[in-house]
């Protein structure tokens, strides 16, 4: 993903919040019982305030059946329901936040070549949520802050809001290590297989990236030199679990076309 913000930018807001909390000796906020929901909601609020969330569009008719099938499988592995939202951004992309929200950029539906590639992308994203990769990054940042400030930080509503701004930036950067990405690929392929979508879709997408102009590649999956390794890791996973994967056709020619209405009108959610 495009690096609009670097993770190190967390330092300033964290410090400010801690100073504000300490200066007035106000009681520290109660620890939030479900930080993932809190953060997910804060990200949602900010995307809505920026006018990015698409409230209604015929594109949802193309997205919904895939999203629902994936949700039915993925929700068994996560303690919140998954919800899918279309958003309008510059580059084809998809990203998931803690709490179960998954955002799909409208142009991704035109970018992918078939249903399996879209399903693979969405399965990969829900897997980041299932693995709590976003929360792990956040906690790592908090650990660094605590060390630097010698103080315990608690997540409260205002802090969640500030963290959400950072998280949106973070989600747009190539934030995760190759291991974390590969793990999401593998879990994603399991989820796709269980939802009835050919898990080779993700492999086909990576293979296309090898030949594509890097500016045209969805940033979420464009960990470029590693694409070959990610394909190999997926293929090995398929070989090692024939009872799950052998029934799926590895040939891109077997793909199901994705039917997407052209120039679909979009109405945006407004605050
Ligand atoms: Zn990823």
pLDDT digits (tens, 9 = 90+) for 204-220: 988 887 766 666 655 55
With a pLDDT cut of 90, the percent of the chain lying above it is 54
User: How far is 1 from 76, CA to CA, in rounded Å?
Assistant: 28
Distance of CA 20 to the CA centre of its chain: 32
Least confident of 82-86, 122-126, 153-157: 153-157
Q: 6: CA distance to ligand 1 center in Å?
A: 17
Distance of CA 129 to the CA centre of its chain: 7
Q: 219: CA distance to ligand 1 center in Å?
A: 9
- Global pTM? 0.81
Q: 95: CA distance to ligand 1 center in Å?
A: 8
DSSP tag of 31? P
pLDDT of residue 124 exceeding 60, the answer is yes
pLDDT (0 to 100) of residue 6: 31
Q: 23: CA distance to ligand 1 center in Å?
A: 39
Q: 240: CA distance to ligand 1 center in Å?
A: 22
Q: Provide DSSP, 117-184.
A: HHHHHHHHHHHHHHTTHHHHHHHHHHHHHHHHHTS-----HHHHHHHHHHHHHHHTS--S-HHHHHHH
Q: 183: CA distance to ligand 1 center in Å?
A: 9
pLDDT of residue 74 exceeding 50, the answer is yes
Q: 255: CA distance to ligand 1 center in Å?
A: 23
Average pLDDT score over residue span 81-96: 91
Tokens 């906020």 belong to 29
Q: 181: CA distance to ligand 1 center in Å?
A: 5
pLDDT (0 to 100) of residue 214: 61
Joined tokens for residue 121: 């992308």
Nearest to residue 141, comparing CAs of 40, 15, 10, 18? 10
Q: 133: CA distance to ligand 1 center in Å?
A: 9
User: How far is 59 from 166, CA to CA, in rounded Å?
Assistant: 29
pLDDT (0 to 100) of residue 14: 39
Alpha helices (runs of H) in the chain, residue ranges in sequence order: 11-23, 35-49, 59-74, 108-111, 115-130, 133-149, 157-171, 178-195, 200-211, 227-240, 242-245
pLDDT (0 to 100) of residue 204: 94
Joined tokens for residue 171: 């989600």
User: How far is 154 from 132, CA to CA, in rounded Å?
Assistant: 18
């Amino acid at each position: 993903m495009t690096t609009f913000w670097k993770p190190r930018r967390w330092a300033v807001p964290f410090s400010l919040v801690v100073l504000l909390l300490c200066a007035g000796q106000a009681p520290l906020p109660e620890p939030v019982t479900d930080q993932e929901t809190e953060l997910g909601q804060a990200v949602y609020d900010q995307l809505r305030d920026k006018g990015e969330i698409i409230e209604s569009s015929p594109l949802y008719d193309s997205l919904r059946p895939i999203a629902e099938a994936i949700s039915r499988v993925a929700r068994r592995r996560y303690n919140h329901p998954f919800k899918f939202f279309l958003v309008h951004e510059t580059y084809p992309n998809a990203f998931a936040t803690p709490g179960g929200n998954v955002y799909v950029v409208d142009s991704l539906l035109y970018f992918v070549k078939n249903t399996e590639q879209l399903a693979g992308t969405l399965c990969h994203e829900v897997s980041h949520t299932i693995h709590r990769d976003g929360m792990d990054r956040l906690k790592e940042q908090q650990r660094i802050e605590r060390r630097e400030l010698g103080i315990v930080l608690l997540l409260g509503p205002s802090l969640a809001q500030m963290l959400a701004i950072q998280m949106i930036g973070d989600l747009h950067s190539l934030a995760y290590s190759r291991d974390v990405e590969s793990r999401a690929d593998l879990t994603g392929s399991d989820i796709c297989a269980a939802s009835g979508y050919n898990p080779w879709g993700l492999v086909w997408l990576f293979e296309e990236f090898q030949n594509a102009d890097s500016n045209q590649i969805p940033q979420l999956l464009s960990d470029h030199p590693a694409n070959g390794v990610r394909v190999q890791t997926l293929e090995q996973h398929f070989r090692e679990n024939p009872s799950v994967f052998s029934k799926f056709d590895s040939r891109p020619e077997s793909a199901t076309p994705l039917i997407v209405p052209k120039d679909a009108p979009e109405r945006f959610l407004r605050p």
